[in-house]
């Protein structure tokens, strides 16, 4: 039995698996990129479809990114400015505010 081809296969497989263990995941790469833009990760959730929901905040904006962790595709990247007036409003306050009419 020739041992030389087995050694080559073993070395190649060790190199392949060790390099993939050190690589960053799609999610880690995305978080590092967004944090370099001045955002801070405040929440991470997994959706029932297996996607990753990441919520970030900066001094001026809120940002939500939905990521497919299998292939790294960004499915949604939504950014909106933080409105200081709405900071203390609840969701119901915002909802009922849509239907209220200010009368003079």
Residues 45-54 as b or e (16 or more Cβ within 10 Å = b): eeeeeebbeb
According to the per-residue pLDDT averaged within each range, which of 3-17, 49-63, 81-95 is highest? 49-63
Query: Does the pLDDT of residue 18 top 60, yes or no?
Result: no
Structure tokens at 93: 């306050």
Show me where the domains of the chain are located.
Answer: 39-104
Which pLDDT does position 25 carry in this prediction?
Answer: 86
Which pLDDT does position 54 carry in this prediction?
Answer: 95
Which pLDDT does position 23 carry in this prediction?
Answer: 60
Which pLDDT does position 103 carry in this prediction?
Answer: 53
Q: Transcribe 19-75 into DSSP letters.
A: HHHHSPPHHHHHHHHHHHTT-EEEEEEE-TTS-EEEEEE-SSEEEEEEE-TTT--EE
Q: pLDDT per residue over 33-73, tens digit each? A: 999 999 999 999 999 999 999 999 999 999 999 999 999 99
Alpha carbon distances (Å) from 25 to 19, 31, 66, 71, 100: 12, 10, 15, 10, 47
For the residues 76-83, what does the mean pLDDT come to?
Answer: 91
Q: What is the pTM of this model?
A: 0.60
Question: What integer best gives the mean pLDDT of the chain?
Answer: 79
Coil, helix or strand at residue 83: coil
């Amino acid at each position: 039995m020739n041992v030389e081809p087995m050694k080559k296969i073993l070395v190649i497989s060790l190199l392949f698996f060790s390099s993939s263990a050190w690589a960053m995941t799609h999610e880690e790469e995305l978080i590092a990129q967004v944090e370099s833009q001045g955002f801070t990760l405040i929440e991470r959730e997994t959706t029932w479809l297996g996607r990753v929901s990441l919520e970030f905040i900066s001094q001026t904006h809120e940002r939500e990114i939905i990521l497919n962790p299998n292939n790294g595709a960004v499915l949604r990247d939504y950014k909106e400015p933080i409105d200081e007036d709405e900071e203390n409003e609840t969701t119901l306050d915002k909802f009922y505010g849509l239907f209220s009419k200010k009368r003079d």
